Amino acid sequence: KEAVTVEGTSIGLKVGDKITIKALVYGMLLESGNDAANVTAYGISGNLTEFAKLMNSYAKEIGMNDSNFTNPSGLTDKNHYSTAYDMALLTSVAIKNPVFKKICSTESAVIDFGTPEISRTLSNHNRLLRECEGVFGVKTGYTKASGRCLVTACERNGVTLIAVTLNAYDDWNDHKKLYNFG
């Protein structure tokens, strides 16, 4: 129950639902499903605290020295923080995974889950996939405390660039300008 009862956006998971890890990843990356993030954490580590320990360990391993995670979804907590640099570093590692890259670049996907099973269409909130040449992901985010946050990656002429803006009112246009400049 704790995994699916969460504030913010969700994909609509209910207690007892059956869902694949791949569908959960689609739910996290396309719909920002906080329930999908929690269910993944519970499935991997048994609870959110142990999963956050794994997140922090991996973050340190790849050089994210100015981040601390307390939950899998990015929901506000005074001890949950990161920097634009660390998010760019994480993105540079994540986009090397072809499955991650494919999912975060998908504009919409149908996933099946539930008991009884239902099909649900998820839509990627990253409008730069349609509006900016070469953009192939990565993640939108918003909380009242953090404001609008956007992490994108763009490939043009064989060069991949990553842009991260935190608490940026005009993030879509900021990223377009950064890629056109870069």
For the stretch 16-25, pLDDT in tens is 999 999 999 9
Residue 156's pLDDT is what?
Answer: 97
Rg (C-alpha) for the chain, rounded Å, is 16
| Start-end of H helices in 12-148 | 21-31, 34-45, 48-61, 84-94, 98-104, 128-131
Instruction: Compute CA 170 distance to the chain's CA centroid, rounded to the nearest angstrom.
Output: 19
Residue 24's pLDDT is what?
Answer: 98
The dihedral through the CA atoms of 172, 174, 176, 178 has a sign that is negative
Distance CA 138, CA 130 (A): 13
Q: How far apart are the first and last CA of the chain?
A: 46
Q: Helices 21-31 & 34-45, crossing angle to 10 degrees?
A: 140
Residue 92's pLDDT is what?
Answer: 98
For the stretch 23-63, pLDDT in tens is 999 999 999 999 999 999 999 999 999 999 999 999 999 99
Token digits for 19? 């869902």
For the stretch 89-109, pLDDT in tens is 999 999 999 999 999 999 999
